[in-house]
Structure 1
Amino acid sequence: MNFELTEEQAMIQDAAKQFAEGVLAPKAAELDATSNPEIMKSHLAQLAEQGFMGVNIAGEYGGTEAGTIAFSLAITELARACASTAVAVSVSNMVAELIQAIGSEAQKSHYLPKLCSGEFAAGSFCLTETEAGSDPAAMKTRAVKEADAWVLNGSKVWISTAALAGVYVVWAVTNPDAPKGKGISCFLVDGDNPGVTVAKPENKMGQKGSGTHEVVFEDCRIPLDAIIGEENQGFKIAVTELCGGRIGIASLALGVASAALDYARDYVQERKQFGKPLAEFQGLQWMLVDNYTEMEAARLLIMQAASLKDAGKPFAVQASMAKLMATEKGNKACYDALQLLGANGYMQDFPLERYARDIRVTSIYEGTSEIQKVIIARSLFSN
């Protein structure tokens, strides 16, 4: 296996790193403290200019066409500086990839250039409901077909960057008499549709700069051709596209954890106790050794999943393994890094408390760690 990056992948990684260090890092603490949407919009507009809002989208639609490995590398570098911005980029790319994979030519030509160029600040993925999270097939949102339109009624929760979205990918029940999960369809809904209401942002523990909202659809009329993919086959789309999203979230967790570990490593070389730097204590060295080793293993799992996806091969189990490893061990890495700073790690004057808050949700969204274990277990016992 060749672990060396291509020239294009290395260039995209370097461009993401420079943007993260030069633009995101100086604003990360302010964005976390204020949740100012203008900062986020500015970040996303600049990222669109550099091609990061359509990393795996074909050039004919305005995308960078660089592949999943490049996408993963970019998300990791962005997350090292600002997890809130990184998750907005990850979700918008996922929306664009879904439209590219499933959409009609008219849908691709209409929506993808707007997502890639930044005309749409973001895209949102509307699947989860109050009683349909880990079990999305239990959703209640309905879409009724009339003579000239589909009419949507229902609500979705925990929707990332919903207030900035130019387009929503929405799942709804279209055949309530079908067996569970068999009568669901997928739709594209414009962000300015008068039947859409975006609630106030949730007051979250972390990733505060990325707004998370309830989105309500009330007699929301959309054209008959707004359906994406085949009618009543939307659940398959959701399951497939979540796999790609898990590569993005695993990459995000890797970035946050790597930033935390690097900060702690530098800190213990400067901080002295008992007359010598903390870095000279073997117990603390081994804390860092264990965490760096675990995150390197996570990185390799992510690269495996991304490579399989780029090759057009099955990658769902590998994506679940990568997300499970990166998010669970990433949480541990952030908490260990915070511990290495002692009381300073608990203070907002240092970034460790933000890293610990930001990474916590990565083992929850895009499928909890428990759901990833279910997916992996099914693969183990399917023969």
Structure 2
Amino acid sequence: MKVAVVGAGWAGISAAVALADAGHDIAVFEMAPQAGGRARSVAGEPDYDNGQHILIGAYRDSLALMRHLGADPEQVLKRLPLALPYPGEPGLCLPPGPPLIAFARGVLAHGGWPLSARLGLLAAAGSWLARGFRCDPRLSVAELCAGLPGPVKRDLVEPLCVAALNTPAPQASAQVFLRVLKDALFSGAGSADLLLPRRPLSELLAGPATAWLGKRLRLGQRVQRLESGWRVDGEAFDAVVLACTSVEAARLANSIAPDWAATAQALRFEPIITVYLNSPGSALPAPMLALREGPDAPAQFVFDHGQLGGAPGRFAFVVSGAAPWVDRGGCAEAVLAQAQRELRWVTPPVVDKVLTEKRATFACTPGLARPPARIAPGLWAAGDYVDGPYPATLEGAVRAGLAAAQGVGADAATGAGAKGAASGSPTNTP
């Protein structure tokens, strides 16, 4: 078939590669001058990434896609055991080994928590495991973890929640958080390992995908209209995958599937701010440190790019769930003050660059209605926002792309495609 993929972020790349491998004739439309979506290097400044990204060992589909396109994860990612050290504190560190045993050993060895806090966390984790990591979908993370000891909530639950869901614990979905914990901590040896980029972000996927797709990738081309049949800006296709943002997908699908478009349009967003500081000669005690967030301390994590193959003396401070700081302003100055208070510097740090992604992720709230992947026969959505068990992560985007490609193939096998849509088949089948 001839298939259009609208969007060349990680979801679109995933869908395009799967469709091409299945023998389909594809065209990938990308409105930006480069592929990669939100997970890419800054256009014109490849040494800077559009925000600091982390992968984990459980991201098997993302790692497989990188290998398929010729990027070796062992070369472009630095693998570290899951550790959440704080300035001057070792924090939680998981040793290698079977996941359940490693988690128990890591928690019991955490000298910064009283024994009662360590035992309380293990008891709660055992309860979650016994329930299959499921809970009432109306619960927030704060409600789920209300009975946990204070140090555990402060040093583990809250930073993990905002890092994975980009939504503060009082507003974040407990069900999605539990799924993240299940996959990261209990799905196999190495699944919780941190994989930190040690090359510019575009070299992980966007660059290799651009070379692999070749002339099938149409950069700098924003799709203006989508018509039943399927016609993309007047060009006929047999099927279409909308792998653009939820906002763009809703715009394009509105006349075809208004109910689907309304669900996509109803999603709210959470921003992420990345503040790059420069301090020649300085280094952190580890490639990544967790930081304690507060009213005057925006950042939850800091990364030492000098230890990750990047520019020595450059540090990326990440402010997730950053809506309050977008509203009030002054984030860069507050991060600089936080850095000066909490870390040691050889030379005075200065603000190098500030990147604000106002629609970094959807707000992952309890009971959230997310649009289904299938919009209409022959029309699929692929993105980290579509209905599923994961928050807005790179792995969620890649899996959504794979699912959309499989859906296109399934529609073709049953004869539901452009012909079915044009004849008035249902347009919002879950």
Q: TM-score, normalised by structure 1?
A: 0.25
User: Which structure's residues are more often strand, by fraction?
Assistant: 2
User: Which structure's residues are more often helix, by fraction?
Assistant: 1
Q: TM-score, normalised by structure 2?
A: 0.23
